[in-house]
Structure formats: C-alpha cells, structure tokens
C-alpha cells in the first residue's frame, strides 16, 4: 500500500504546486489546515460508523457486500484526507514509513493502561 500512498502524495504535491482549477485537492489546500482537519474528523467519524455497520451485518438485515464497500470507500476517503494533511505539514510518506518500521522492530512494548474511573 506504500506505493499507492506515495503516488497519492505526489498527486497532492502537484495539485498544490499547479493550483489546478476545479481540483478538490487544490481547494482543500487553499482553504488551509483547519478545513483539512475538519474533513479528516468527518471522515474518521464516517469510517467508524461504516466499521460498526459492517460488524453488524451478521446481526441485522444489512447487505454484507454493500457494507464492506461502504467501509472500503470511507477508509479511502480517510487515507486521502490524511495524505493531504501530511503534505500541507511537509511530512512525507517516507517519514511515516520510518516510524512504522521502527515500531515493527520493537518487541514487548505493550503500554500499561491506567484504570479509568467509570463514574466520571
């Protein structure tokens, strides 16, 4: 998947440089980080809802194919907006890959969770 994200990042870079009229990417970049973060938040929420719907397929009268496609589309939207955010902040896909590689090489790094007070 790294190649497709790198390709997408390059397209975002091109749209940013050329400010292509009618380009949604150019529009987002022109609107700035706040707009991009708003869209990222929306897509995150939509991905969560789609994942819950997909999980519920076996329990309800939902079309598994349609729910799977809906989830795939929402994840695609989420990744797209994430790449736009990374680009505007000058964080490359390679930078993220480095972080993930470093984490993959760690072992026994389970973080101990704090006990939450369920009354608050």
- Which of 31, 9, 27 lies closest to 19 in space, CA to CA? 27
Domain at 44, CATH number = 1.10.287.1080
Task: Look at the block and give the residue holding tokens 């400010």.
Answer: 19
Q: What angle (nearest 5°) sits at the alpha carbon of residue 112, between those of residues 110 and 114? A: 150
User: Does residue 5 surpass a pLDDT of 60?
Assistant: yes
% residues pLDDT > 70 (the chain): 83
Q: Which of 46-50, 69-73, 110-114 has the lowest mean pLDDT?
A: 110-114
Q: What is the pLDDT of residue 2?
A: 64
Q: Which carries the bigger pLDDT value, residue 3 or residue 62?
A: 3
Question: What's the domain count of the chain?
Answer: 1
Domain housing 42: 32-95
Asked whether residue 90 is domain-assigned, the answer is yes
The token pair that represents 2 in the structure block: 């790294």
Q: What is the pLDDT of residue 42?
A: 98
Asked whether residue 46 is domain-assigned, the answer is yes
Q: What is the pLDDT of residue 114?
A: 61
59/33 Cα distance (integer angstroms): 39
Asked whether residue 105 is domain-assigned, the answer is no
- Three-state secondary-structure class, residue 53: helix
pLDDT band at 6 (very low <50, low <70, confident <90, very high): very high
Q: Is 19 left (phi over 0), alpha (psi -120 to 50) or beta?
A: left
DSSP secondary structure code for residue 102 in this structure: H
Asked whether residue 43 is domain-assigned, the answer is yes
Q: What is the mean pLDDT of the chain?
A: 88
Which residues, in sequence order, are CB contacts of 75 under 8 Å at separation 6+? 47, 50
Distance separating the N- and C-terminal Cα atoms of the chain: 41
């Amino acid at each position: 998947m790294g190649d497709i994200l790198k390709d997408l990042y390059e397209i975002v870079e091109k749209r940013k440089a050329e400010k292509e009229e009618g380009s949604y990417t150019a529009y987002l970049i022109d609107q700035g980080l706040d707009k991009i973060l708003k869209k990222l938040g929306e897509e995150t929420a939509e991905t969560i809802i789609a994942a819950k719907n997909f999980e519920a397929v076996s329990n309800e009268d939902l079309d598994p194919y349609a729910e799977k496609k809906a989830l795939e589309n929402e994840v695609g939207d989420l990744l797209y907006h994430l790449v736009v955010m990374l680009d505007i902040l000058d964080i490359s896909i390679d930078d993220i890959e480095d972080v993930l590689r470093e984490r993959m090489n760690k072992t026994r790094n389970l973080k101990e969770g704090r006990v939450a007070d369920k009354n608050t």
